[in-house]
Chains A and B, each alone.
Chain A
């Protein structure tokens, strides 16, 4: 404990020295310099915690990332990730990290793939608290790591990354939907949407009156299997929007059962499954 606080203290002292030096040098430029330095510092910490000192390469040829320039609804910012490599058992994205630098909990989700499906694209929706870099980092099965990032402006006005209706969210908690194309053939890449009714709430809000935090209640893990073989798993966190939605590609070569298992931070488990090609009605 002492070591940690000492380290932090040293860091702070170093930062103050740095800032004073910068102030001396650049005068009024200080504010800009400081905020930029802090943002970079945040990413540096996240990077170290996830990958240690491993090299991260420019991922422009490996992954595509689409984000809105401005977060229209701060609670629901749609993002799309595309695999630019043709994935097969010898060359595939093993893990995909979704990082939102300036959110209270920056690691939004980590997806893991077994390399058996060429998923092509994956979309989800996230909360965005402030102007931030949003990063996707892909770890290939050969150990190489690639990153792409976009800058997202937070929304103006009264848009807050909060639940719109906590009572309604609680009432339908745990409902799961799998939406698949109306008609398909075996082997087709199916654009599939997984929807989970869950407040996915942060619990970060402090009640000044009762002096207590609103308890956290969010989805920790999602596993999707087809005939008991993993399609993908995801470890998720509070930066994923309320009622999480994941669009993913998947090509079933045979008939079977697509299953979802969701676990949340309070210990609850939710399950859902559909028979393929006999689907539930969307």
Chain B
């Protein structure tokens, strides 16, 4: 089932890629710049550009380019969605925007606190944009800034010079969606109660019916629980009502059959929930839960070994208070 569906997604992925390559090639010819490597950016819907993240762990060989990042172009302005994990990655994103449009970069939307999404933000300071995120993003970043910057230096070393934390200048409250006007294009920003983190934000583009969920949805790559397991399951129920035509996950390919991807994610999180509840009821320990819970999901996800134990640990300390 899953494999079959995956193949469908991959086909779509490839056809999108092909279209993008052609677009990029034409662009290159048009501007007279022919680079050794084609840009990694693809247009997934009219005016919506995505740089797919590499489905790997944060490491020097992928320069931290692991998250899906991109931008949306209106008639008057551009909004960036997530900025990558370093100043350099942010600059690459900015260059890609400038290859496509000279319109002002008015908004930089940060979908949540994680460093692979937020640490490239300083590259846009020259545009003086509104940095906007969940109302709790600022506090979450302040609490983690030293750790994030230290880890970045550890993994990527001096290649990340210039990287610093940018705190959002505007916040979106849960239950109070914010609209950004880009010129004949309205983006709806929605903040969620604690799920993947305590500061998740989605972006909906009405024109194309594209819902940029970022890390509220992981496709192919194992979801990471860094907020609340129960909260996330609640948010999944809510998202299931959406009628979006396509969804951009934080990691993994853009999906049009996205409810199936959402269901995959729910199945994994449900396995954590029921497995850990059983062990908590028997006064079991985190170590037992790591060994026993959710192992049947192992072959369904990339990076399972790297993140599953961590998910069990984080969920265990949440569920033992039920």
Contacts and interface: CB of A to CB of B under 8 A. Distances in A.
Say if A and B assemble together: yes
Nearest to A182: B283
A129 B154 CA distance: 13
A116 interface: no
Interface stretch (A38-46, A207-215, A221-229, A251-259): A207-215
Interface in B290-322: 290, 306-307, 309-310, 312-314, 317, 320-321
A214 B146 CA distance: 14
Interface in B121-144: 136, 138-140, 142-144
A29 interface: no
A76 B287 contact: no
B304 to A, nearest CB: 13
A282 B309 CA distance: 24
Contact of A72 (B145, B146, B198, B309): B309
A160 B144 contact: yes
- Which of A76, A80, A177 is packed against the most chain B CB atoms within 10 Å? A76
B45 to A, nearest CB: 28
A76 B285 contact: no
A267 B211 CA distance: 47
Contacts of A4: none
A247 B285 contact: yes
A31 to B, nearest CB: 12
A193 B285 CA distance: 10
A277 to B, nearest CB: 16
Contacts of A161: 147
A141 interface: no
B310 A72 contact: yes
B313 A72 contact: yes
Contact of A164 (B142, B150, B228): B228
Interface in A70-105: 72-73, 75-76, 78, 80
Interface in A238-252: 241-243, 245, 247
A155 interface: yes
B220 interface: no
B65 to A, nearest CB: 14
Main secondary structure of the interface of B (DSSP, over half): helix
Contact of A166 (B145, B155, B198, B306): B198
Contacts of A155: 310
Contacts of B194: 164-165, 167-168
A158 B143 contact: no
Contacts of B197: 164
A168 B193 CA distance: 11
B8 to A, nearest CB: 29
A73 B228 contact: no
A154 to B, nearest CB: 8
- Place the interface of chain A in its size category: 35 or more
Nearest to B138: A209
B167 A208 contact: yes
B286 interface: yes
Interface residues of B, number: 43
A72 B290 contact: yes
A164 B136 contact: no
A214 B313 contact: no
A160 B144 CA distance: 7
A135 interface: no
B116 A241 contact: no
A171 to B, nearest CB: 11
Contact of B320 (A168, A195, A206, A209): A195
A158 B306 contact: no
A208 B321 contact: no
A191 B283 contact: yes
A168 B228 contact: yes
B285 A205 contact: no
B227 interface: yes
A17 to B, nearest CB: 27
A230 B212 CA distance: 56
B227 A164 contact: yes
Given A193-B283, A195-B320, A208-B142, A160 B147 contact: yes
- Which of A161, A162, A164, A166 is packed against the most chain B CB atoms within 10 Å? A164
A164 B57 contact: no
19 contacts: A72-B313, A73-B310, A78-B287, A156-B57, A157-B224, A158-B58, A158-B115, A158-B224, A160-B147, A164-B314, A165-B194, A165-B198, A168-B194, A168-B228, A197-B321, A205-B142, A205-B144, A208-B145, A242-B317
Interface of B: 57-58, 114-116, 136, 138-140, 142-148, 150, 155, 165, 167, 194, 197-198, 224, 226-228, 281, 283, 285-287, 290, 306-307, 309-310, 312-314, 317, 320-321
